[in-house]
Structure 1
């Protein structure tokens, strides 16, 4: 069992090289946050329309399949 533990531990160690440093991850999160801020006003207008369209599609499917 100890051999299995060491095999898993040492095989996972190189995977830590693929994890970006925190400073790079922080820049990515800042970019995502800026994108979310820019698209918030558009999504506020689109969401009610999308919800209405989705409910109409579901209603049509219900009528089609008599559910």
Structure 2
């Protein structure tokens, strides 16, 4: 499988080749910490990090890190 970059590239290519004139969003839903970071690196427009398997303290810390990377 090609992963997140392949999906982002495919959507961008389709957007450009079809002359789509409306904004297109790429969203990761309930992603891992590493998955959220990778999606931002390859151009996803939004991510939702799921830290539910971490302690509340670690979940908050990792969420803050994802937020900082996104801005």
TM-score normalised over the length of structure 1 = 0.27
The structure that is helix-richer by fraction is: 1
Higher RCO, 1 vs 2 (CA within 8 Å, ≥6 residues apart): 2
The structure that is strand-richer by fraction is: 2
TM-score normalised over the length of structure 2 = 0.26
Larger radius of gyration: 1
